[in-house]
């Protein structure tokens, strides 16, 4: 999603801005731009190419500046085009006075556009963002802080803003409401960014702005104003981030690298887990788990499927009822709050706009027992929650989530065990057995990764298909959903996931030779039922591709293709089956020649609604 970087310094900030944009690139974007002071004027460079191309353009113009703002855009309003790329400029008299970058969506942009057009402003873009630039200019009387404060009062929706004004060359103003923004503190220089990662190497001193905050940055001072416009102190966090973490190494794509990092990522996520203890989820977790009698999981996309898998685990082990809801639905519907609910949010970035809003909504409804499972310790969701478990997947660059998903599953399994323990549902023997199996996961995943050559052989057969069906039962049903999502995200093949028992209630009508049916066949209590479902497909001429656990007695034939998985892994089996489906999606996408790491229209860290 969109990225913001801004700097006010006494040295040339162009490398800081471009490096910051590069660090945010992995989130996905369709255009980028930079604006700086050149002499006494504001000048900008924008591009619909990659940041590297923008950097070449900047270099060819020999720009150097001590203050500037930069942006990667993921279009929401107006096509991805140079004239819609940020920064946006404004100046009533035709002379540019204000430059601005924005993340988020301004919901009342139409009304403001109409008013500002009547006031004489000429719009050059179709974005909601340009409205904010003109609004600030219309309120500007020589003090950009005051103009931004006055403008924010009139904005509805979500925004993170970074603003500079031609007549105040050593000043940078930011504002946050609903979209992430941090201030980075340096010595004789200060920074703004949508993510502290963008400032790695420049500063580790970070202020996380809160909703309603406006921040005024000069060379030697950073002053935050709260939603009431009053000066306030916000805590300064020391955040250590390593810029080099995202190197591709010997892999062809980040997605492939991240699939193969899973043994390490799952191992790291379990680092320090010697015993099953509530404190793993934060101080006071035992009391929270004692006081809940249901769990509400809120998430989006792949994290939602992790939540669906956790429902099977928590209900099976802890006997606590669980509901799982898509965050963007929950936040807007009337629901029945129960303060004895554990509200569990799951997000790779911890900044997912809908999930964060759903968490805040749940809190507003009086549900204060909150827990976030997240890959970024400093994220908004972690800060908003009473309890947290940080997965240690490391930076995930591929837009299609892989190691973030399996590390979430790891944390969720641990949670199921902990809640079961607190509720007195877990015998010491069972606890020791499950913990041993959990800690063995890195080895078990490595064995699954060794199946890659067989998956590659299948992938070439899928490359010319346009539809695919994924079947699973029980706790493997969410894995079928995730497998279908992975395939459609990166190969653009239309794919659907179904619980195998539902086949006869509709999707069987779609089964022909042209529709491969991918089946997850664990060696569990539902195996015979699943075999009947497979027969239903076979009898109608459907072609089955089965990932079958050892000893399932499912054998290959003309229309049944089987990859044999290692031994069945009990309750943890979904983690292993998820990995094979990631490999399948990846190699099918490679066979079709798509842009695996940056699939069309999608972005990482979904920070807009
Ligand atoms: N609405 C703005 C910014 C979009 C955004 O934040 N995307 O992540 C635009 O469309 O330019």
Which CA distances in Å does 395 have to 293, 327, 469, 561, 603? 35, 23, 31, 35, 15
Pairing of β 88-90 and β 98-106: antiparallel
* Whole-number Å distance between alpha carbons of 482 and 168: 51
- Residue ending a domain, among 193, 225, 245, is 245
Q: Decide if 98 is inside a domain.
A: yes
Query: What percent of the chain clears pLDDT 70, i.e. is strictly above it?
Result: 98
How many residues in total does the chain contain?
A: 609
Average of per-residue pLDDT across 299-325: 98
* Whole-number Å distance between alpha carbons of 3 and 603: 11
Largest CA distance in the chain: 79
Q: What pLDDT, on the 0 to 100 scale, is given for residue 116?
A: 97
Judgement on whether residues 366 and 473 belong to the same structural domain of the protein: no
* Whole-number Å distance between alpha carbons of 371 and 411: 12
- Residue ending a domain, among 380, 405, 439, is 439
Judgement on whether residues 376 and 433 belong to the same structural domain of the protein: yes
Judgement on whether residues 181 and 266 belong to the same structural domain of the protein: no
* Whole-number Å distance between alpha carbons of 84 and 86: 7
Q: What pLDDT, on the 0 to 100 scale, is given for residue 557?
A: 84
* Whole-number Å distance between alpha carbons of 422 and 276: 10
Atom index in ligand 1 nearest the CA of residue 76 equals 10
Average of per-residue pLDDT across 204-233: 96
Q: Decide if 309 is inside a domain.
A: yes
Check if 74 has its Cβ closer than 6 Å to any atom of ligand 1: yes
Q: Decide if 445 is inside a domain.
A: no
Is the bond into 55 cis (omega within 30 degrees of 0)?
A: no
For residue 25, the CA-to-ligand 1 centroid distance in Å is 15
- For a mutational test of ligand 1's pocket, the pick from 1, 21, 102, i.e. the residue with the most ligand atoms closer than 8 A to its C-beta, is 102
Q: Decide if 511 is inside a domain.
A: yes
**Up-side HSE of residue 516: CA atoms within 13 Å toward CB?**
24
Judgement on whether residues 502 and 600 belong to the same structural domain of the protein: yes
User: Would you say residue 242 has pLDDT above 70?
Assistant: no
Q: What pLDDT, on the 0 to 100 scale, is given for residue 484?
A: 98
Judgement on whether residues 240 and 255 belong to the same structural domain of the protein: no
User: Tens digits of per-residue pLDDT, 19-37?
Assistant: 999 988 877 788 999 999 9
Judgement on whether residues 478 and 414 belong to the same structural domain of the protein: no
Q: What pLDDT, on the 0 to 100 scale, is given for residue 246?
A: 59
Check if 262 has its Cβ closer than 6 Å to any atom of ligand 1: no
Judgement on whether residues 340 and 462 belong to the same structural domain of the protein: no
Question: Would you say 64 and 235 are in contact if contact means Cβ atoms under 8 Å apart?
Answer: no
Split at pLDDT 50, 70, 90, the class of 245 is: low
Q: 184 phi and psi, to 5 degrees?
A: -110, 130
Q: Report the DSSP beta bridge partners of residue 135.
A: none
Range of the structural domain that residue 505 is part of: 450-609
Q: Decide if 403 is inside a domain.
A: yes
* Whole-number Å distance between alpha carbons of 177 and 188: 27
Split at pLDDT 50, 70, 90, the class of 243 is: low
User: Tens digits of per-residue pLDDT, 284-293?
Assistant: 999 999 999 9
Q: Decide if 575 is inside a domain.
A: yes
Helix (H, G, I), strand (E, B) or coil at 349: coil
Judgement on whether residues 222 and 331 belong to the same structural domain of the protein: no
Spatial strand order in the sheet of 157-165: 88-90, 98-106, 157-165, 172-177, 214-217, 222-225, 231-232
* Whole-number Å distance between alpha carbons of 515 and 469: 7
Residues involved in catalysis: 2, 604
- Residue ending a domain, among 412, 439, 466, is 439
User: Tens digits of per-residue pLDDT, 429-457?
Assistant: 999 999 999 999 999 999 999 999 999 99
Q: What pLDDT, on the 0 to 100 scale, is given for residue 1?
A: 65
Question: Would you say 199 and 206 are in contact if contact means Cβ atoms under 8 Å apart?
Answer: yes
For residue 47, the CA-to-ligand 1 centroid distance in Å is 15
For residue 608, the CA-to-ligand 1 centroid distance in Å is 8
- For a mutational test of ligand 1's pocket, the pick from 28, 71, 74, 100, i.e. the residue with the most ligand atoms closer than 8 A to its C-beta, is 74
Tally of CB atoms within 10 A around 437: 15
Question: Would you say 380 and 328 are in contact if contact means Cβ atoms under 8 Å apart?
Answer: no
User: Tens digits of per-residue pLDDT, 42-88?
Assistant: 999 999 999 999 999 999 999 999 999 999 998 999 999 999 999 99
Which run of H or E residues covers position 517?
strand 517-521
Report which DSSP code applies to 122: -
Judgement on whether residues 275 and 299 belong to the same structural domain of the protein: yes
- For a mutational test of ligand 1's pocket, the pick from 176, 608, 609, i.e. the residue with the most ligand atoms closer than 8 A to its C-beta, is 608
For residue 495, the CA-to-ligand 1 centroid distance in Å is 29
Check if 586 has its Cβ closer than 6 Å to any atom of ligand 1: no
* Whole-number Å distance between alpha carbons of 95 and 56: 27
Helix (H, G, I), strand (E, B) or coil at 540: coil
Domain of 508: which CATH number? 3.40.50.10490
Judgement on whether residues 556 and 568 belong to the same structural domain of the protein: yes
Question: Would you say 238 and 207 are in contact if contact means Cβ atoms under 8 Å apart?
Answer: no
Burial of 110 (0-12, 13-18, 19+ CB in 10 A): exposed
Helix (H, G, I), strand (E, B) or coil at 453: helix
Judgement on whether residues 213 and 87 belong to the same structural domain of the protein: yes
Q: What pLDDT, on the 0 to 100 scale, is given for residue 27?
A: 74
* Whole-number Å distance between alpha carbons of 428 and 440: 18
User: Tens digits of per-residue pLDDT, 156-168?
Assistant: 998 999 999 999 9
* Whole-number Å distance between alpha carbons of 266 and 438: 9
Atom index in ligand 1 nearest the CA of residue 84 equals 11
Q: Decide if 476 is inside a domain.
A: yes
Number of H helices, E strands in the chain: 19, 25
Pairing of β 222-225 and β 214-217: antiparallel
For residue 74, the CA-to-ligand 1 centroid distance in Å is 6
Atom index in ligand 1 nearest the CA of residue 129 equals 2
Check if 299 has its Cβ closer than 6 Å to any atom of ligand 1: no
Q: Decide if 172 is inside a domain.
A: yes
Check if 83 has its Cβ closer than 6 Å to any atom of ligand 1: no
Question: Which residue bears the tokens 């659907």?
Answer: 496
Judgement on whether residues 309 and 435 belong to the same structural domain of the protein: yes
Domain of 46: which CATH number? 3.60.20.10
Average of per-residue pLDDT across 96-108: 95
For residue 127, the CA-to-ligand 1 centroid distance in Å is 8
Atom index in ligand 1 nearest the CA of residue 607 equals 8
CA 253, 259, 260, 262 torsion-angle sign? positive
Check if 599 has its Cβ closer than 6 Å to any atom of ligand 1: no
Number of domains, the chain = 3
Q: What pLDDT, on the 0 to 100 scale, is given for residue 39?
A: 86
User: Would you say residue 482 has pLDDT above 90?
Assistant: yes
Nearest Cα to Cα of residue 79 among 607, 604, 492, 601: 601
Q: Which two tokens stand for residue 328?
A: 């963007």
Q: What pLDDT, on the 0 to 100 scale, is given for residue 485?
A: 97
Q: What pLDDT, on the 0 to 100 scale, is given for residue 248?
A: 78
* Whole-number Å distance between alpha carbons of 126 and 121: 14
């Amino acid at each position: 999603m969109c990225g913001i970087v801004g700097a006010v310094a006494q040295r040339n900030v162009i490398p800081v801005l471009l490096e910051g944009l590069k660090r945010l690139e992995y989130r996905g974007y369709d255009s980028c731009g930079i604006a700086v002071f050149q002499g006494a004027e504001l000048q900008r460079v924008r591009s619909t190419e990659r940041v590297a191309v923008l950097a070449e353009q900047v270099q060819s113009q020999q720009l150097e500046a001590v203050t500037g703002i930069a942006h990667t855009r993921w279009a929401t309003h107006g096509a991805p085009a140079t004239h819609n790329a940020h920064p946006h400029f404004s100046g009533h008299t035709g002379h540019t006075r204000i430059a601005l970058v924005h993340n988020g969506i301004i919901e009342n942009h139409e009304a403001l556009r109409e008013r500002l057009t009547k006031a004489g402003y000429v719009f050059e873009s179709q974005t909601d963002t340009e409205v904010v630039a003109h609004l600030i200019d219309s309120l500007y009387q020589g003090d950009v802080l005051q103009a931004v404060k006055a403008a924010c009062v009139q904005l509805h929706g979500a925004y993170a803003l970074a603003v500079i004004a031609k007549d105040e060359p050593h000043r940078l103003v930011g504002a946050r409401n609903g979209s992430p923004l941090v201030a980075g503190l340096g010595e004789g220089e200060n920074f703004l960014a949508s993510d502290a990662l963008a400032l790695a190497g420049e500063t580790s001193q970070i202020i996380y702005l809160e909703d309603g905050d406006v921040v005024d940055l000069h060379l030697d001072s950073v002053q935050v104003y709260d939603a009431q416009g009053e000066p306030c102190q916000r805590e300064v966090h020391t955040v250590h981030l390593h810029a080099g973490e995202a190197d591709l190494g010997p892999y062809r794509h980040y997605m492939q690298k991240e699939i193969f990092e899973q043994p390490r990522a799952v191992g790291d996520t379990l680092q320090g887990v010697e015993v099953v203890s509530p404190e793993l989820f934060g101080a006071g977790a035992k009391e929270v788990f004692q006081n809940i009698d249901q769990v509400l999981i809120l998430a989006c996309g792949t994290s939602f499927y992790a939540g669906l898998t956790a429902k099977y685990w928590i209900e099976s082990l802890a006997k606590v009822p669980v509901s799982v809801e898509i965050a963007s639905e929950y936040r807007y519907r009337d629901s029945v709050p129960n303060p004895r609910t554990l509200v569990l949010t799951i997000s790779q970035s911890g900044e997912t706009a809908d999930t964060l809003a759903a968490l805040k909504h749940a809190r507003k409804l009086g549900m204060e027992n909150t827990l976030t499972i997240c890959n970024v310790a400093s994220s908004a969701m972690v800060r908003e929650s009473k309890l947290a478990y940080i997965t240690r997947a490391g930076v995930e660059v591929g837009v299609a989530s892989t190691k973030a998903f399996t590390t979430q599953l790891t944390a969720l399994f641990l949670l199921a065990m902990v809640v079961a323990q607190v509720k007195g549902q877990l015998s010491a023997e069972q606890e020791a057995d499950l913990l041993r199996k959990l800690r063995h996961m890195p080895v078990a995943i490595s064995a699954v990764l060794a199946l890659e050559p067989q998956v590659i052989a299948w992938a070439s057969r899928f490359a010319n298909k346009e539809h695919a069906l994924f079947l699973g039962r029980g706790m493997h049903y969410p894995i079928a959903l995730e497998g279908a999502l992975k395939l459609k995200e990166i190969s653009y093949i239309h794919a659907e996931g179904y619980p195998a028992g539902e086949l006869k209630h509709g999707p069987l009508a779609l089964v022909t030779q042209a529709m491969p049916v991918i089946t997850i066949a664990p060696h569990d209590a539902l195996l015979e039922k699943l075999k009947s479902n497979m027969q239903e497909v076979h009898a109608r001429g459907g072609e089955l591709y089965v990932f079958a656990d050892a000893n399932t007695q499912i054998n290959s034939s003309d229309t049944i293709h089987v990859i044999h998985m290692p031994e069945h892994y009990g309750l943890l089996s979904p983690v292993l089956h998820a990995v094979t489906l990631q490999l399948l999606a990846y190699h099918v996408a490679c066979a079709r020649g798509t842009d695996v790491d940056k699939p069309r229209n999608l972005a990482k860290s979904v920070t807009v609604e």
